[in-house]
Structure 1
């Protein structure tokens, strides 16, 4: 568990630390926000392509083998990023890192489902939540400090020793917990899965670029190819005796509701975590370190609440956590939509902390309750489906937020009598937070349908 948690922590740390560095990278590498977004998008795109295959990998290779391969890719990607002289090399490094994370995430969740009995799973997921949420909390602050005193390369140099320690821990102590069944590999399924998930993530991400947004031919074509490939992929999986990804997991209603809830959460958290640091630096004129400091309390609160929410979930079930969680998140995003360059730092800290409290009430309870309904043989498929669609939802959320922010900014510049770049950015950011609030309202309505899954221990 320690080896898994350290590598999970570093994966999440480098993901969010880079968000704070985006403004500096835009300046240093002379790139636009839409181009810089590809450092996050390429990461998500790789995960979206790789994670569906993870259900198959978990049945073909041992826990130790997958862990070592995942860590080797993470170390290689981090080292390449630390040495990257330009944007292109950094982008390749992010893809290599994502291969490691794409193998690691499903492995971590699958291991917990196998190792912990159902009645203790909430607490175990809570500890994962603590680690996974503290990383994004400290990421922006540490990144800001490193950028201010050293350079953005040090975000990756700092991660490297932890990954090496994690690899050594894994080699020494990791045990094999998954069952190796070696199902037949279906090449057509893999091709359709790659085209499907890849096409959708690529299409939505490209919408953040250029003037045409979602009206662009490239965007429409990519999304269309993705949707058609996914339909064909789904039909093929349902017709096979031993599918690559068992979509029969969707027969379980609480798994489906839990999945949609988690996806909504992912859209909210990734879109606001991209928009907020950009605004704090470019709109409010804060340094990367100051922006990171403002986001630190919320992230720490989220991390510390995660195990508490896990225990509350084990005791009371998901409903009385998820409903108020969405209420808090939705209300906070509504307040965020009124943010201006004159907003007090204390207000940003309070709002960000409230958003993180709401997210911690939703994420782990909904995820654990959904996975609890699946029979043991569906664990690899359930975790693969949940992790894949989280990446797709994250990419869609960030792409929509960036394109809404860009169009809000440009329409303000066109219509205002004396257009000011900061006011224009403010208008765009406010629109992006309204989008987040609408997504939270949809989640709030859905939360009323969640029922506690009563599970017998395996």
Structure 2
């Protein structure tokens, strides 16, 4: 498949459609995190069951992304966008009206189907309608949705669950989801030239089992432990299926997901850096709320508000760094951003029970400032090297690896934290000769051990940042493979 913009297309309305839909999809992905304890009590389910609202969403999203390259080749941009955004809106309605856990989970999975199509579609459309010289600014605009929405989700969720029923969260998202459908119906145009590729059914099965098994295994390892039979079985089955999928993709003539994108060195390098950054980023998103609520005793709303200035700063900086990228490239943006990220992540290794709210807010905000220079410029630098015919596959591959690295980062950091906390608690009990029946002393030890575990997890995140920093020095500008291809005919574009 080749794709090319029609010069007559108005880019502004198309970008607005994509940003609204992406904002809503990403907001919904994180909005439940703070609300899960209250939902667990209301729906009368345990912690393992309620986690499926997040894990199921991520799994469905992760399974669909590899298939998105085929969908982008097969269906027109407008039809695919309206189908995806409509599915997301329908899923939101099901969630808002759900009376039990089964309906709620079903609604979340429908939402995830829509989001799994929307995110790769957004990347490919931007790469198609903007020339290489303007892609940084355009991807920076995308970054507003990709960064700002997940960050304000916990703040909004904390406020809602403290004052209203958790279903209000979905009623807040619903008008935005409907707006995305209605606005897109008028504004979205066909910008990608389609073809009639053959669907690799066996590839779909192998990729679903492969990515699904690995994502579930990594996600479940954080709570069940790496020795769990279920975790081991999922990782082994997922790994074998993924290996067969890769072999089939490399040998096939029309693969579901084109692994030959890794023949392009700059795409491979930037994808690796982004995967490492994603793993490190999850340390702040997961460990900091645990510290704020369990150790410092802040409410969910206060925890969410602490993250808000960083989110706002990232939203402001994202288009600015995009424009800087167009001028100077990604290397020095990435280097400066990763230096800031490394220093601030190290600061989080020094947490104590006396760490103040304002100090934590300052460090987290500075960390987000560094992050604003990283994700989109680095991804754009890699995607620029790909020929246009591989844009859909490159976007799908990048999104898939981010999902996997996010799940892996979560599992590793949570497992490391809990194991270190447990071993440190035993050391404190033995060295202090504490009686386990002494509840006051055991509470002190539990607090100290948890802080110890969180700090050590941030040490891992710091070293991940250092690795990404070293790799960032190898980023360079490359000659884009801007192939000469046929544009989308004007009548089709005007649909």
TM-score (norm: length of structure 1): 0.94
* Aligned match of 2:478: 453
Runs of 5+ unmatched residues, structure 2: 1-14, 430-440, 484-495
For 1:299-319, what per-residue CA distance to the aligned partner results, in whole angstroms no more than 9, with x for missing partners? Answer: 111111111111111111111
Q: Corresponding residue for 2:182?
A: 168
Determine the structure 2 residue equivalent to 1:99.
113
Gap change, CA 1:456 and 1:197, over 3 Å in 2: closer
Counterparts of 2:283 and 2:43, CA distance in 1: 23
Q: Is the 8 A contact 1:13 1:135 kept in 2?
A: yes
CA RMSD of aligned residues (A): 1.9
2:387–2:481 contact (8 Å) kept in structure 1: no
Q: Which of 433, 436, 442 is 1:419 aligned to?
A: 442
Bigger CA drift: 63-72 or 448-457? 448-457
Once the two structures are TM-superposed, the CA of residue 23 in structure 1 deviates from its matched residue by 4.5
Offset at residue 16 of structure 1 (A): 2.4
**Gap runs ≥5 in structure 1:** none
Which residue does the alignment assign to 1:369? 381
Post-superposition CA distance 1:129-183 (Å, at most 9, x none): 1232221232222222212221222221101001101101111221011121111
Give how far 1:37 is off: 4.2
Deviation at 1:50, TM superposition (A): 0.6
Distance in 1 (CA, whole Å) between partners of 2:344 and 2:191 is: 41
Distance 2:50 2:346 in 1: 27
In 2, the alpha carbon distance for the partners of 1:347 and 1:23 equals 27
Aligned equivalents of 2:182, 2:43: Cα separation in 1: 35
CA contact (8 A) 2:207 2:245 kept: yes
* Residue of structure 1 aligned with 2:231, choices 219, 240, 243: 219
Q: Structure 2 length as normaliser, TM-score?
A: 0.88
Q: Secondary structure at the match of 2:374?
A: helix
Q: How many residues align?
A: 456
Q: Deviations over 1:197-245 (max 9, x none)?
A: 11111111121223xx112222122111112111111111111122111
Q: Out of 209, 218, 223, which is 1:204 matched to?
A: 218
Distance 1:455 1:410 in 2: 51
Rounded to whole Å, the distance in 2 between the matches of 1:423 and 1:185 is 55
Structure 1 match to 2:459: 434
Aligned twin of 1:15: 29
Alignment of 1:290-329 (within 5 A): 290-329=302-341
Question: How do 1:68-79 residues align onto structure 2 when only pairs under 5 Å count?
Answer: 68-79=82-93
- Compute the displacement of 1:33 (Å): 5.8
Structure with the greater alpha carbon radius of gyration: 2
1:414 shift after superposition: 2.9
Contact 2:317–2:369 (8 Å) recurs in 1: yes
Q: What residue in structure 2 maps to residue 253 of structure 1?
A: 265
* SS of corresponding position for 2:197: coil
TM-fit CA distance, 1:89:
3.9
Map 1:115-126; keep pairs closer than 5 Å.
Answer: 115-126=129-140
> Following TM superposition, by how much is the alpha carbon of 1:30 offset from its aligned partner in structure 2, in angstroms?
6.3
1:70-149, aligned counterparts within 5 Å? Answer: 70-149=84-163
> Partners of 1:264 and 1:376 in 2: how far apart?
26
Do the aligned partners of residues 429 and 22 (structure 1) sit closer, same or farther apart at CA in structure 2, a change above 3 Å counting? farther
Cα offset for 1:46? Answer: 1.1
1:259-291 alpha-carbon deviations (Å, 9 max, x no partner): 111111222223421222232122211111111
Q: CA deviation at 1:26?
A: 5.1
